Amino acid sequence: MNRDREPARPGHVPGTRPTAPPSEQPTRPLQRRQAPGPHGPGHSAPTQQVPAPQRPAPQGATAQRPPQRGWHAAPTEPIPTVVPEPGMDQAAEQALEQTQVIRPVAPGKPSLLRASGSMAIATLISRITGFLWKVMLAWMVGTGVVNDSFTVANNLPNSVFEFLIGGILTSVIVPVLVRAAKTDDDGGEAYVQRLLSLSVVVLGVGTVLSVVGASWLVWAYASGEDKGNPELATAFAYFLLPQIFFYGVSALVSAILQSKEIFSPPAWAPVVNNLVVIATIGVYAMLPGEIVIDPVRMTDAHLMTLGIGVTLGVVAQALIQLPALRHTGIRFRWRWGWDSRLSEFGGLALWMIAYVGISQLGLMAMSRAGTSAGAWAMYNIVWMLLQLPYGVIGFSVMTAILPRMSGAAADGDHKRVIDDLSLGNRLSAVTLLPISAVMTALGTPITLALLGFGESATDVGKIGIALTLSAFGVLPYAVTMMQMRVFYAMKDARTPTLIMVLMTVFKVPLSLLAANLETPLQVLCALSVINSVSFVLGWLVGEIWLRSRLGPLRSRRFMVTLGKTLLASAGGGLLAWLVALGVDAVMPGAAGPGTGWMQAVAGSAIGLVAIFGLMSLLRVSELQPAIGRLTGLLRRR
């Protein structure tokens, strides 16, 4: 990966740290400098007055502070490098050492744009392949009882994993590891090994208990009324619940790599998982006959193929990241004993467990409502479509920005935390709102293009309507997740838990009411809208809490960007809808996947071009870095 560097300066030998010539030696007191953290040079501890030695430094050009990574380049200023002079006593030499960087200067790290861009490519492929295998499954078995039962069972490993340590690994562990790497002499390796040892034991015990209690877990998430089939879901669960352990291993390794700002292996690992599952569904399609649900048999070839194949995908996702972990120099070894910081981590973990447990109450209520109406598989397809733009763009930005934000929080630099939060929210707005507008305008054509085949074709209209009604929740979801990461970076897991309490209190009673609606379409649309509105609520509450903690959040700049983007997105979304109507007028009565593809592709292309064109006319400044980088790539070609 190429990195942007400053041009060579006269008298500067590449690979060395230049020093100031005698004429430029400072007369002011020297500042104590620390090794650059995740934000690069420029974020140091308060100054410390020490006597500057009088020995002139070797000839060379003035050292310049390199610009900060990302899009916040700061002006440069001379930074002298001093050396002890012969005969200096020990006390003076120790005082001098305190003014210099003791640890080696970290190499340049990729900018936020470059890091999030490379992850976005991997995540895009991951989301596409993940959606593809779910669509393939819908083609094979439809969106009825078999798919509902598989979906319930396949969600169980994620739910149990999140409750055990998943929420901790994906939220609070990266800031903790960043702090350990900055403060420990071994770069945090011993701390990582203790976490790994403890986590492996917790995962192993949790996996065994979950398999033993599979039927109780299914009862909690699935309704046996009307369209539900708990027996089939339980049979799937026995094959799928071992995923818990491998999800944990994958998340542990991913968190360690991300704390060291290594993003590619964790981003590409889910692609391997999805490819294994796609191959599994291919094998399933070649099996003669259909899955037998009355009575349910554990030896059914279709049941075993889906259960074992999908679990092998998670195994591959975990194993594919291990070579990258070894490349960091960290080796797994059992390390017991208690580190005092594990107590602090344990406090965060307890709040995180509470967070996951509360969120699971909301998921249980929605799952039981969906399965009772035969709409749970359809709801999951809608939710997966809504997560697709966030997973490709919002999550990539958040993952790249989290180590920087954690480093700033560790230094007590709240201004930098606010800057990173504002940047992440603005980038999410200018990239996710246009996609949300297109989804609102083209909900039915999109689902017709993707699901208008095989057994799933009958439910296309229902899914399309639900997607149109709930697409507004894409940006609130991304902003809420970003706000949660700010609290975790500040070692606060309590506030996100309280926010989740409010969101769940909103979700549960409304989901239970939705279960009493008359048709699957009504239940599906109600659940989709309830979920999206809950993230709007989370966004507003999180904003209030962050303001009370950090002060002004540069909200004015964000609201200006949001307003301009919303105006452009509304215009482009309307144009996309008109294009879809035009295609339908040209091809009357030709409803089918082909028509859906033409409407989706033409409407999306014209609508997005119009949106970004209007945003450019409205001078949305956040577009400029992306446009400049794209222009540079085209010029090099």
Q: What is the pLDDT of residue 77?
A: 34
Q: What is the pLDDT of residues 445-483, one digit of tens each?
A: 998 888 877 656 677 889 999 999 999 999 999 999 889
Mean pLDDT of 259-263: 72
Q: What is the pLDDT of residue 499?
A: 94
**If DSSP states are collapsed to H, E and C, what string results for 210-247?**
HHHCHHHHHHHHCCCCCCCCHHHHHHHHHHHCCHHHHH
Helix (H, G, I), strand (E, B) or coil at 481: helix
Q: What is the pLDDT of residue 186?
A: 62
Q: What is the pLDDT of residues 109-148, one digit of tens each?
A: 455 555 555 666 777 788 788 888 888 888 888 767 788 8
CA distances from 115 to 42, 248, 378, 492 (A): 20, 24, 34, 26
Q: Which two tokens stand for residue 158?
A: 């994620």
The alpha carbon of 191 is separated from its chain's Cα centroid by a whole number of angstroms, namely: 24
Where is mean pLDDT largest: 75-84, 171-180, 613-622? 613-622
For a pLDDT cut of 70, what percent of the chain falls above it? 69
Cβ–Cβ < 8 Å for 383, 155: no
**If DSSP states are collapsed to H, E and C, what string results for 267-324?**
HHHHHHHHHHHHHHHHHHHHCCCCCCECCECCCCHHHHHHHHHHHHHHHHHHHCCHHH
Considering only residues 192 and 58, tell me which one the structure prediction assigns the higher pLDDT: 192
Of 19-23, 335-339, 369-373, 517-521, the one with minimum mean pLDDT is: 19-23
Considering only residues 503 and 65, tell me which one the structure prediction assigns the higher pLDDT: 503
Considering only residues 392 and 383, tell me which one the structure prediction assigns the higher pLDDT: 383
Q: What is the pLDDT of residue 542?
A: 93
Confidence bin at 610 (pLDDT 50/70/90) = very high
The alpha carbon of 101 is separated from its chain's Cα centroid by a whole number of angstroms, namely: 34
Q: Say yes or no to pLDDT of 540 above 90.
A: yes
Q: What is the pLDDT of residue 10?
A: 41
Rounded CA gap, 186 and 195, in Å? 15
**Is the pTM here over 0.75, yes or no?**
no
CA distances from 54 to 82, 84, 86 (A): 9, 9, 11
Give phi and psi for 382, each to the nearest 5. -60, -45
Q: Which amino acid is at 554?
A: R
Rounded CA gap, 44 and 588, in Å? 67
Q: Say yes or no to pLDDT of 50 above 60.
A: no
Of 406-415, 533-542, 556-565, the one with minimum mean pLDDT is: 406-415
Q: Say yes or no to pLDDT of 589 above 60.
A: no
Instruction: Locate all alpha helices (DSSP H) within 43-188, ordered by sequence.
Output: 90-97, 112-141, 145-161, 167-171, 173-183
Instruction: Locate all alpha helices (DSSP H) within 587-622, ordered by sequence.
Output: 593-617
Confidence bin at 382 (pLDDT 50/70/90) = very high
Q: What is the pLDDT of residue 141?
A: 81
Q: Which two tokens stand for residue 491?
A: 């070692």
Mean pLDDT of the chain: 75
